[in-house]
Structure 1
Amino acid sequence: MRNTIAERIADFLKRYPPFDLLKTSQLSEIAAEVKVIYVEKGKVIFEESQKGHDQFYVVHKGAIDIQRNNNGKIENLDKCDEGDIFGLRPLFAKESYMITSIAAEESILYAIPISIFKPMVLDNQRMGEFLIESFASNTQTPFSKEHHDMLYTGREEAFESTAQLYELQPAHFVKNLVSCTREETVKDVAIKMSQNKVGSVIVIENECPVGIITDKDLRLTIAVGKYPIDVTVDKVMSKPVICYPKGITIAQAQITMMKHNISHICITKDGTPNSKAVGIVSEHDIIVSQGNNPSVLMKAIKRSRKTKDLKNIRSRIMMLLNGYIQHNIPMTHVSKIMFELNDATIKRVIERSILKMDRQPPVKFAWMSLGSQGRKEQLLTTDQDNAIVFQDVKPEELEEVREYFLTLAKKVTKRLNAIGFEYCPADMMASNTRWCLSLKEWKEQFKNWITEAGDDEILLSSIFFDYDISYGDVRLTNELSDTIFKLTNNHKLFVNTLANTALRNPSPLGFFRQFLVESNGEHKDFFDLKKRAIMPITDAARVLILQYQVKNINNTAERFEKLAELEPQNKELYLSCSYASKALLKFRTKQGILHNDSGRFIELDTLTKEEKVKLKRCFKSIHDVQELLKIRFKITAFL
């Protein structure tokens, strides 16, 4: 006889993730074992410290409040409604519940036995990942790495190893570094290289890399007689050292080497020259497989002769991005590769524009990319945000020199616009006199912003905290960074004001019932992902890392990962924020590709249940880090 109740349960479950990933036979098997439970309003399903049940729950009708006791005060963590899953802790580990679930209204629940469900999860990675997301979204510890390990018993995540994705495998690096000091002679270093059979030696100072000497350096300096063989290393070493953290992909290493015309990359603890050197990647270590798309694109960018060529390459880059998103490649890899390709495009445009000028630059300068490109988070083609800093000159020469760089900037921004990077609506571009300044003028500008911190000053200065050099003399931007850190370190009121500003867009934590949408205008009833989610978490990372005067880390996810190292007591929160920043970036990219726009505004009705769960988890992290800001900076009220 047919079990019509089980059929109705199966029909309901298959409408929601992760049950939509199951085969029909598996759904029927589960549905046959489901217990249908009716609960009255106020009924407790399970409570904190209670032994875990042998089942978890799906809301069929009604709503369930998820709560915890925070030092005697009941705090609502979440509200589950139709299709939501809760009570997952026993699926991950034999532990007592850490939250309480209580019926917010009359409800009907489906109780699913863990014994029959868990084997299916272990055979379906996508199901497992969704359940981890769901579990994390209604717990007090949003970061779920430990829960992944519990569910999969320490197994490493499956990663496609096809030739198509070979480029995203981690590049092999040598851990046994051969190093020297600045004061050693080239002869002694050459002997080291010969004895250790290596082609490079890292120059170390306080455990950090300050230079590198390679076979090529010896050929170009010693072999041609430029210096005697007993000269000290600091005279012939290459600097600064290009550094990355562990996990740099083959593709990323390749395009970095081509971009900077180098054959070695130093691996450091945090990926910057300011931390301990732990290894080195050589060109020999990253012999490429066939069809390495990022490398092909990088070569095409460097060989381009026309803006039209770069525009065509840009369309291929977007195809590459779409492929990465479809293959669910980790955003850490995707964002770094896209940054390098974007950065190389900007650099090539500047090179070509200089050739179109009537003369070479009169003084040294640096082109600074701001905003998402400065944070290495620009995946889609968005507005231009850039500026120029040039070497100080005599007062009587200043305007003539500025006019040169303004003319250059107009050529660059025009070509970038033709490629697909829209002009900034606020004209925050190097072609604007306000953003084309000498080093001295920039220092004075930051001093005014920081010491006279009004709303406009805070907005402008926060944008410039995220700059990255795309072309030119890095010494100019380094000196500017040193000035900024010195100024902020001496003006605590400014940092407090910056923290206050970071709280102006509170997290839309009440996701299902209290979604903050636009109330009027072109995007009425749409959700502003940038304003409500991406900006708050970006602003929080910026102000928190500023306290520690950390240089060379502008990316939001990397800032939170660095904060997790600096503040072990808040590690779980910061890692959850790092995850959230990458998840939001991916969500915006998917929406942008889908609708052929910036991905900023979302029509809520188009979201799947799985997407809502992922966003809900991100909102929880934003809420928690904003609470930390309130406490740390003693903020009691804000607009």
Structure 2
Amino acid sequence: MNTIAERIADFLKEFPPFNNLTFTELSEIASNIRVINLEKNQTLFQVNDTLHECFYVVASGTVNLSVISDAEETLLNKCHQGDIFGLRPFFAKNNYMMTSKAREESIIYAIPIATFRPFVANNSLVLNFLLESFAATSRYASDKDNYGGKLISDNVFYPDQQSEMQYFQSLTYNTSPITTTAKTIIKDIAQLMTEEIVNNVLICENNLPIGIVTDRDMRSKVATGRYSIADTIDKIMDSPVITVVENVSLAEAQLLMLKHNVTHLCVTIDGTSQSVVKGIISEHDLIIAQASNPGVMIKEIKRSLASKDLKQIRERLTDLIQNSIYKNTPLYHVANIASEINLAIIKRSVELSILDLGSPPARFVWLSIGSQGRKEQLLYTDQDSMLVFEDVPADKYRDVKDYFIKLAKKTTATLEKVGYPFCPQSHMASNLQWCKSLSDWIKQYNSWMNTPGENSSDMSNIFFDYELIFGDEMLEEAIGNVVLQNTKNNSLFFDFLGNDVLKNNAPLTFFKKFITEEDSLNRNKFDIKTRALLPLIDGARLFALHYNLKGINNTYLRFKQLAIVDPKNEEIYLNCADAFITLSKFRTIEGLKNDDSGQYMPITDMSKLDKDKLKAALAPMKELEELIKGKFKLTQFS
């Protein structure tokens, strides 16, 4: 090995994933590496460039990765010494989705993929590193490690999203592939592929897949004269065929193609070659699936011009959620993705109303409240909202309010068409009561919080869980400041809220049996929303207000943060956080099964294991109740 290659191998062994290779393997890689000198601001590749046949490692200097979105260049990551980037050719055939540009004079090692691929296929640690890199968002990657060699994704995702989505994103593929037998003549198959306009055919024996032939085989083996068109198809087929289960995810499919260096995967009932063929997945299917990540869906929402467009996107989100549950993806990550898409749909609905009505006559803010405000809406549950507009002169007040009522009515009507039902309690901005000026809202919160026993018959706790959807941040901040001021030394308010939590109906009888509904519609069903989730939601909100956890509305995150600010009771809060996720998953599964809100669960239909899991998730509620009584000096009858 020459001295330069030896120096490169010595360099690479200090960084992942190369530190999982032997020095002999590194030497072979180093001997094939091309050294590139980049001047300051020189571009290595840019958006839409054809993929290179190599990926890159920064030897010295800094390389910026950026993407242009909505006419603005956004810096995604900075690659320093030892960092890998440009991995896209491993996982996709379409062009680059980002630009790499030297921030300063830099030396880059270009590693040919053909040289490196065998080490990926044969070393699970290297494969796992690339898998993690492929699945990592750039923002997540930048904070992941303190050492060199951090994970740099070549997939562009919507900002702030965890790309666990790739692990449960389903694939659309050909469910009626062409099949044939081993002794069919090549010429006949070539004619059939031409007539059907397909680039592959599966070879089966007793309905089980034994091989595959693609256009590439026809070109490289028949067109070159190696085999005659009169030969049988088994002479040119690739065997064995790589098989996968029906619900394979985008990430799994891409990695299998990478590992086995193939362009097609055969879908069978049980994922082995010993079961019946259900379809064929091609590289083209993966490229199409990549276009269905949250970022693309958000862009589609921004371009939507009618409720029917938004409804179609929301239905796709439901499919995504359903598949994620099926694949046991962590529910918190699913909720992150779902909430961003839900909130984008609401925002677009407001924008469409403004496009129809004309510019607002005053500054305003649209706030989602309730489960949308807490970013916990996975199912088609009802919409909750409030609208705050700035104070205006008395002679203009009526016209201004009329405009915003019209805006709210249009927006809530659009959302109802998309699939979000109207709130039964009418907690919506289209209600005159919940669409008003900042001064009126300040009076409302003052009344709720300072005289809770007298003037709070109209108070709903959900007005303390809000998320800005559209409009002026200063108006939202003004509401937040009023809430903050009124929580200081306000034992009356916390007495009221605390007792409200304690009034929640118990989920279990003294003998640990589920308390079920008695009305004819939901007889013998367990109300998981009212008896299980609401006590946790209300308890988390109570403590969040007490400890002034500003800007944290999500129940799971509230409990996680409470474990930090009140370490003495850390275990209770963490148990409640886990319980909330478990209960939410039960409700989501039930809702997806019945295409409803999932509120009522038929206990008699549940397995013993599920019943035990559900009971275990209810256990922390008692601890939370005792903590509330102790912290706020309450009894259930105060």
Contact 1:163 1:289 in 2 (8 A): no
Contact 2:503 2:636 in 1 (8 A): no
Q: Structure 2 vs 1, CA of residues 292 and 308 (structure 1 numbering), >3 Å: closer, same or farther?
A: closer
Q: Does 2:402 align with 1:433?
A: no
Structure 1 residue 293: deviation in Å? 2.4
In structure 1, C-alpha distance between the alignment counterparts of 2:128 and 2:484, rounded to whole Å: 41
Contact 1:251 1:294 in 2 (8 A): no
Contact 1:518 1:524 in 2 (8 A): yes
Structure 1 residue 538: deviation in Å? 0.6
Superposition pairs of residues 51-66 of structure 1, within 5 angstroms: none
Contact 1:384 1:429 in 2 (8 A): yes
In structure 2, C-alpha distance between the alignment counterparts of 1:602 and 1:167, rounded to whole Å: 36
Structure 1 residue 296: deviation in Å? 2.4
Structure 1 residue identity aligned to 2:580: S
Contact 1:170 1:250 in 2 (8 A): no
RCO higher in structure (CA 8 A, sep ≥6):
1
Structure 1 residue 609: deviation in Å? 2.1
Q: Structure 2 vs 1, CA of residues 516 and 170 (structure 1 numbering), >3 Å: closer, same or farther?
A: farther
Q: Does 2:171 align with 1:172?
A: no
Structure 2 residue identity aligned to 1:596: D
Contact 1:507 1:622 in 2 (8 A): no
Contact 2:164 2:333 in 1 (8 A): no
In structure 1, C-alpha distance between the alignment counterparts of 2:165 and 2:139, rounded to whole Å: 9
Question: SS of the counterpart of 1:571?
Answer: helix
Structure 1 residue 565: deviation in Å? 0.1
Structure 1 residue 454: deviation in Å? 3.2
Structure 2 residue identity aligned to 1:549: N
Structure 1 residue 549: deviation in Å? 1.3
CA RMSD, 1 decimal: 3.1
Aligned residue number for residue 530 of structure 2: 531
In structure 1, C-alpha distance between the alignment counterparts of 2:294 and 2:529, rounded to whole Å: 28
Structure 1 residue 349: deviation in Å? 1.0
Contact 1:169 1:249 in 2 (8 A): no
Structure 1 residue 400: deviation in Å? 1.1
Superposition pairs of residues 17-28 of structure 1, within 5 angstroms: none
In structure 2, C-alpha distance between the alignment counterparts of 1:526 and 1:455, rounded to whole Å: 35
Aligned residue number for residue 214 of structure 1: none
| Percent identity (aligned) | 40
Question: SS of the counterpart of 1:502?
Answer: helix
In structure 2, C-alpha distance between the alignment counterparts of 1:308 and 1:392, rounded to whole Å: 35
Q: Does 2:290 align with 1:306?
A: no
Superposition pairs of residues 143-542 of structure 1, within 5 angstroms: 166=135, 171-174=140-143, 249-250=162-163, 290-357=290-357, 359-454=358-453, 457=456, 460-510=459-509, 513-542=512-541
Structure 1 residue 435: deviation in Å? 0.4
Structure 1 residue 292: deviation in Å? 4.9
Structure 1 residue identity aligned to 2:162: T
Structure 2 residue identity aligned to 1:468: E
Q: Structure 2 vs 1, CA of residues 455 and 418 (structure 1 numbering), >3 Å: closer, same or farther?
A: farther
Structure 2 residue identity aligned to 1:602: M
In structure 1, C-alpha distance between the alignment counterparts of 2:407 and 2:332, rounded to whole Å: 34
Contact 1:502 1:539 in 2 (8 A): yes
Q: Structure 2 vs 1, CA of residues 292 and 165 (structure 1 numbering), >3 Å: closer, same or farther?
A: farther
In structure 2, C-alpha distance between the alignment counterparts of 1:491 and 1:374, rounded to whole Å: 24
Structure 1 residue 623: deviation in Å? 1.2
Structure 1 residue 338: deviation in Å? 0.5
Cα deviation code 1:48-85 (max 9, x no counterpart)? xxxxxxxxxxxxxxxxxxxxxxxxxxxxxxxxxxxxxx
In structure 2, C-alpha distance between the alignment counterparts of 1:547 and 1:418, rounded to whole Å: 38
In structure 1, C-alpha distance between the alignment counterparts of 2:360 and 2:491, rounded to whole Å: 39
Structure 1 residue 326: deviation in Å? 0.8
In structure 2, C-alpha distance between the alignment counterparts of 1:619 and 1:327, rounded to whole Å: 24
Contact 1:534 1:581 in 2 (8 A): yes
Aligned residue number for residue 584 of structure 1: 583
Question: SS of the counterpart of 2:630?
Answer: helix
Structure 1 residue 384: deviation in Å? 1.1
* TM-score when normalising by structure 1: 0.56
Q: Which moved more, 1:336-345 or 1:513-522?
A: 513-522
Structure 1 residue 561: deviation in Å? 0.5
Cα deviation code 1:151-171 (max 9, x no counterpart)? xxxxx9x99997999378983
- Which segments of 5 or more consecutive residues in structure 2 lack a partner in the other structure? 1-124, 147-157, 167-287
Contact 1:163 1:290 in 2 (8 A): no
In structure 2, C-alpha distance between the alignment counterparts of 1:469 and 1:401, rounded to whole Å: 21
Contact 2:505 2:530 in 1 (8 A): no
Q: Structure 2 vs 1, CA of residues 389 and 243 (structure 1 numbering), >3 Å: closer, same or farther?
A: farther
Cα deviation code 1:428-457 (max 9, x no counterpart)? 111111000111100001111112213872
In structure 2, C-alpha distance between the alignment counterparts of 1:576 and 1:176, rounded to whole Å: 29
Contact 2:364 2:387 in 1 (8 A): yes
Aligned residue number for residue 633 of structure 1: 632
